[in-house]
Structure 1
Amino acid sequence: MNAFFLDRDGVINESGNVNRVADLVLLPGVPEAVRTLNDFGYEAFVVTNQGGVGLGYMRKRDLDKIHRHMSDQIEEGGGKLREIRACIHKPSQGCRCRKPKPGMQLELIERYDIDRSASFMVGDRDVDIEAGRAAGVRTIFIGERALSHVKPDYVFPSLHDAVTELQASGLLQASDSRSGDV
Structure 2
Amino acid sequence: MNKKPAVFLDRDGTINEEMGYINDLSRVRLLPGVAEGLKLLQDRGFKLIVITNQSGPARGYFPESLVFEVNQLITRRLAKKGVKLDDFFVCLHGPNEGCNCRKPNPGLVLQALEKYPIELEKSYFIGDKIVDVETGKRLGIKTILVLTGYGKGELKYVAPKKGIYPDWVAKNLKEAAEIIIRNL
TM-score norm. by structure 1 comes to 0.89
Contact 2:126 2:176 in 1 (8 A): no
What displacement does 1:22 show? 0.8
**Equivalent position to 1:11, from 5, 9, 14:** 14
Matched, 1:49 2:53: yes
What displacement does 1:51 show? 0.5
2:106 aligns to what?
102
**Equivalent position to 1:86, from 87, 90, 95:** 90
Computed over aligned residues only, the root mean square deviation of the Cα atoms, in angstroms, reads 1.3
SS at match of 2:111: helix
Mean Cα deviation higher: 142-151 or 12-21: 142-151
Contact 1:33 1:79 in 2 (8 A): no
Matched, 1:153 2:157: no
Where do 5+ consecutive residues of structure 1 fail to align?
Answer: 174-182
Query: Counterparts of 1:104-143 in structure 2 under 5 Å?
Result: 104-143=108-147
**Equivalent position to 2:31, from 27, 30, 33:** 27
Residues paired across the two proteins, number: 170
Instruction: For 1:160 and 1:100, locate their aligned partners in 2 and report how far apart those are by CA, in whole Å.
Output: 24
Q: Which runs of 4+ in 1 moved over 4 A?
A: none
What displacement does 1:25 show? 0.6
What displacement does 1:84 show? 0.5
What displacement does 1:110 show? 2.7
What displacement does 1:33 show? 1.2
Greater helix percent: which structure?
Answer: 2
1:2 aligns to what?
5
What displacement does 1:113 show? 2.1
Where do 5+ consecutive residues of structure 2 fail to align?
Answer: none
1:36 aligns to what?
40
Query: Counterparts of 1:50-65 in structure 2 under 5 Å?
Result: 50-65=54-69
Q: Which amino acid aligns with 1:159?
A: L
Identity %: 35
What displacement does 1:111 show? 2.0
